[in-house]
Structure 1
Amino acid sequence: MKTLLRPLCAAAALTAMLAAPMAAQAHRQWMLPSMTVLSGTDPWVTVDAAVSNDLFVFEHVPMRLDGLVITGPDRAAVAPQNAATGKYRSTFDIPLTTPGTYRIASVGDGLMASYKLNGEQKRWRGAASELATAIPAEATDVRITHSQRRIETFATLGEPTTEALTPTGQGLELAPVTHPNDLFAGETAQFRLLLDGQPASGVEVTVIRGGGRYRDEPGEMKLTTAANGLLEISWDEPGMYWMEAEVRGGKSPIEGAERMAVYVGTLEVLPE
C-alpha cells in the first residue's frame, strides 16, 4: 500500500503520530465520511476527523492529517482535496474517480522513551531509525514504547471490491470477512483483527453506535476476538458505528520496546 503524507517538519510529524494514541485513552478519535456507498458519474466523499468525548460531535480538538493514507480500488494512493484543519475538526474531500472500494486511514508509527541521566528524568519521541543515537549509553531506567495507530473508514463507488482492503502487516488492522460497505441492520458481520499480519486473539473490542448524546443508553457493545482473530458483530439498528481495539504489551518489532497498538474504525450500517 502506498502512503500519502503531507510534508511537515520532523518534530511536528512525530508529535502528531505519537499524541494520537495517547489521546485515545481519554477521548475518542474518529473519521466520519459524508457517505459510504455511492453511485453516479462524479461522486465525492467529504470526511470529518476529530477527537471528542461524544462520538461524531466536534467539541474537543481536531485530528491532524499528517499520516493520511487513502488507498483506491486499484491499490494506488489517492490525493485528498481541500484539506483543512480548524479549531475542532479537520476535513478533506476525496473524488471517487474509479469504481470500487476506497480505504481512508490515518496511520502513525513511532517511539516514546523515558530514561534517567545523571539522576534527571528525560523523555524522547522519535522514529525507530533515530533510536540508536537518541538515548545516551550511560542512561538508566530506560523504558521504550512502540506506539502504532490506525484510524480508518471506507467508501465504495458502485460494486464493493477488496483490493484496497489488503492488510499491510504492520500494527493492529481489520481484515474484513464481511465487506465493510455491505453491512445491514438485522444481520451479523464478521471481521478478523490482525497484529503484524497474524490473527490477534483475545483482544477486547468496543463498538458504539453514533448519536449517543440523544440517548439515555450509550448502546455500547464489548466483544472479544476468537483464537483465530475472528470477531462477529450483530447490528440491531442502522447508523454510523465506531469500533476500537487496543493491544498493550507483548513483543514489538522494535527490540527492547513495549507495544501499544490501537485500531479505530467507523462503519455505516444500512437499513434492512
Structure 2
Amino acid sequence: MKLTKTLIALALAGAAFGAQAHRAWMVPSSSLVEAKEPWVTVDAAISEGLFDIDHVPLKLDGIFVLAPDGARVPLENASTGRLRSTFDVKMAKPGTYKIALVSQNVTASWKVNGEVKRWRGSEEAFAKEVPANADELKTTRTNARLETFVSANSTDEAVFKPTGTGLELVPVTHPNDMRAGEKATWRFLLDGKPAANLGFSLVPGGVRYRGTLGEIRQNTDAKGEITFTIPAAGMYMVNASWPAAAPAVAGQAPQMPARRVTYAATVEVLPQ
C-alpha cells in the first residue's frame, strides 16, 4: 500500500516522460458518445508504458465525476484488479462531463542525529506527524490534477469553469472536438491567472508500437495560451508542471521547490 501511494504521488506530480517513469492515467472508452442512453467505461492505472496496463491499478478513492450542471455523478460498477481499475459513468444529461482526481500533498525531509528522515502525506497529517522544530526541515507542497473529459450527444464548457487553485485547463478548442490535422488552442491558468511561459507536453498513446515518443513540446504565451496542430487521431496524454525543474548540479541532490503544481489529462483526437 505504501509503495502504491508513493507511485500515485510521483505520477501525479508530473514525473518526466523518461523510459522508466511511471504515470497515472484515466482512459475513457470514448470521449464523445451519441446514444439514447450514453455510458462510458473508464480504465485507470499507473504504468511505465503510456496507456499500457503493465504495473498497478490507480486507486479509485478521490476520483469524482462532474456533470454539465455541476452535480456529482457516482462511479458505477467500480472495480480494482491487479493491474488496473475500471468504472462506468452514466451520462444522464447531454453535455460535457469532467472525470478528475485532485491531490494536495506535503513532502518533507529533516535530520535526526545526522540521519535524514523523509515523509509524505496530507497537510493535516503533516501538522500532526512532522516536528515543527525539526532540524533542517525542508518541505514541498504539491497540488496535482489528473483529468479526462467525455461528452454525451453534445459538448459544452460548464465543467471547465476554473476553481482558482493549481494548474487548470480552460480550453478555447473543446477537447472533445479535436480532429487530426487541425489546429487547437488551449489556455492554462495557475491559481486562476494566465500561466505564462508554461511548458506543455502532448504525447500520443501507442508508444510501444511506434518505438518513438512522438512528443509535442511547446510553451504557453503571455496569455497562458498554446496553439498546436494535432498530427494523427488517437488518445493523447497532456502534461504541464510549474515551476520548471531546476538545472541538475553534479554531486548534489535535485533542488525541490517550496511548491509544485502539475496537470495531466487524457484527450481523444478523432479522424478528420
TM-score range, shorter chain: 0.7 to 0.9
- Residue identity in the other structure for 2:263: Y
1:4 match: none
- Pairwise CA distance, 1:268: 0.8
Note closer, same or farther for the CA distance 1:137–1:100 as it changes in structure 2 (3 Å cut): closer
- Pairwise CA distance, 1:70: 0.9
Q: Which of 24, 48, 51 is residue 15 of structure 2 equivalent to?
A: 24
Cα contact 1:17–1:109 (8 A) shared by 2: no
Distance in 1 between residues matched to 2:222 and 2:193, nearest whole Å = 11
- Residue identity in the other structure for 2:261: A
Distance in 2 between residues matched to 1:137 and 1:264, nearest whole Å = 32
The answer as to 2:98 corresponding to 1:108 is no
* CA offsets 1:125-170 (integer angstroms, 9 cap, x no match): 3322344443324311111111121111100011211111111111
Distance in 2 between residues matched to 1:69 and 1:39, nearest whole Å = 22
The 5-angstrom pairing of residues 63-102 of structure 1 reads 63-102=58-97
Question: TM-score normalized by structure 1?
Answer: 0.86
1:268 match: 268
Distance in 2 between residues matched to 1:221 and 1:266, nearest whole Å = 14
- Residue identity in the other structure for 2:9: L
The answer as to 2:206 corresponding to 1:215 is no
- Residue identity in the other structure for 1:195: L
What secondary structure is seen at the aligned counterpart in 1 of 2:187? strand
The 5-angstrom pairing of residues 188-203 of structure 1 reads 188-203=183-198
* CA offsets 1:90-136 (integer angstroms, 9 cap, x no match): 11110011110000111111111111234332223332234444332
What secondary structure is seen at the aligned counterpart in 2 of 1:213? helix
Distance in 2 between residues matched to 1:215 and 1:15, nearest whole Å = 29
Distance in 2 between residues matched to 1:224 and 1:233, nearest whole Å = 10
Distance in 1 between residues matched to 2:13 and 2:168, nearest whole Å = 18
Distance in 2 between residues matched to 1:224 and 1:90, nearest whole Å = 33
Paired residues in the alignment total 257
1:254 match: none
The answer as to 2:161 corresponding to 1:170 is no
What secondary structure is seen at the aligned counterpart in 1 of 2:72? coil
2:258 match: 258
Question: TM-score normalized by structure 2?
Answer: 0.86
Distance in 2 between residues matched to 1:43 and 1:216, nearest whole Å = 35
Cα contact 1:18–1:112 (8 A) shared by 2: no
Distance in 1 between residues matched to 2:202 and 2:133, nearest whole Å = 45
Note closer, same or farther for the CA distance 1:196–1:235 as it changes in structure 2 (3 Å cut): same
Distance in 2 between residues matched to 1:137 and 1:149, nearest whole Å = 25
Distance in 2 between residues matched to 1:111 and 1:175, nearest whole Å = 26
Moved more, 154-163 or 58-67: 58-67
Cα contact 2:143–2:260 (8 A) shared by 1: yes
Q: Which of 122, 147, 150 is residue 152 of structure 1 equivalent to?
A: 147
Cα contact 1:188–1:234 (8 A) shared by 2: yes
What secondary structure is seen at the aligned counterpart in 2 of 1:164? helix
- Residue identity in the other structure for 1:165: F
Q: Identify unmatched segments of 5+ residues in structure 2.
A: 246-256
Distance in 1 between residues matched to 2:264 and 2:236, nearest whole Å = 11
Q: Identify unmatched segments of 5+ residues in structure 1.
A: 1-10, 251-256
